[in-house]
Amino acid sequence: MGLIAYLDSVKRRDPAPRSRWEILIYPGVWALALHRVAHFLFSLRFFFLARLVNHVSRLFTAIDIHPGARIGRNFFIDHGFVVIGETAEIGNDVTIYQCVTLGGTDPAGGRGGKRHPTVLDGAIIGSGAQVLGPITVGAMARIGANAVVTRDVPEGATMVGIPAKPVVMTAEEYVKPFLPYGTPCAQKFDPETQKLELLRCEIEQLRARLDELTRERPPEQERRPRRTSRAS
């Protein structure tokens, strides 16, 4: 029953599969299942066996989840090529898209401790995003594609850019229970196009202001003074 509930939770977030059987062959599902085994061995201090399971999982799924990472219920990795570090903590109903890294910021020091992010319930991390360091991504937060996050993300915030910054969302978008790829479909994810998007918004505002001024001004024929004809 737990497996069926998990598969159904994936299907609610991904419209592509026609049945639960298709979801069973998803690399993200296999990576999570093998991580459960590796994490159990890790908790028993069978570190080599845990690492062995981890390497087998990475070989077949292209997803690297350190055995020490803590992952909650209904975690879904859409596609693959994801890296999750040792001290990462992931809550329930979290969705991560391809090419995401939950990484540390100082791997050269060799010191232990909390080095990786904590992602709380219901968060969505878009493709290519890098979430780095012992930071917290708040519940129901959305990380846009290719964003680089190095600071705590408030609950429900939407972050885009390099470095990631919050963007304003309408109430209609905010209350949606699930938002694919982390941000609204109208939001530009590519950092190279963000400036163009801002310029487009400014142009739209200027056009709206120009329309207001045009409506406020009287018609041309009313403003133009009448010319009196001169007698010849």
Same domain, 134 and 206: no
The verdict on residue 152 lying in a domain is: yes
- Going from the C-alpha of 37 to that of each of 22, 170, 198, 202, the distances in angstroms are 22, 42, 47, 52
Q: Are residues 93 and 105 in the same domain?
A: yes
Task: Report yes or no on 205 lying in a domain.
Answer: yes
Neighbours of 225 (CB within 10 A): 5
Q: Which residue has the tokens 């992010």?
A: 117
Q: Output DSSP code: residue 153.
A: B
Q: Is residue 225 part of a domain?
A: no
Give yes or no for a cis peptide into 163 (omega within 30° of 0): yes
pTM: 0.70
**162 in any annotated domain:** yes
Count of structural domains within the chain: 2
Burial class of residue 158, CB neighbours in 10 A (0-12, 13-18, 19+): buried
In a domain, 227, yes or no: no
Residues 93 and 194 placed together within one structural domain of the fold: no
Q: What percent of the chain has pLDDT over 70?
A: 72
Same structural domain, 13 and 73? yes
Based on the domain organization, do 68 and 97 belong to the same domain?
yes
Instruction: Examine the domain organization and report whether 203 and 88 are in the same domain.
Output: no
Residues 149 and 165 in one domain: yes
If asked whether residues 208 and 182 sit together in one domain, one would say no
Which of 98-107, 108-117, 131-140, 209-218 holds the top average pLDDT? 131-140
Q: What is the per-residue pLDDT across 135-194, written as a single tens digit (0 to 9) for each?
A: 999 999 999 888 999 999 999 888 888 888 887 554 444 445 555 555 554 444 455 555
If one counts every other C-beta atom within 10 angstroms of the C-beta of residue 138, the result is 17
Residue 212: which domain range? 190-217
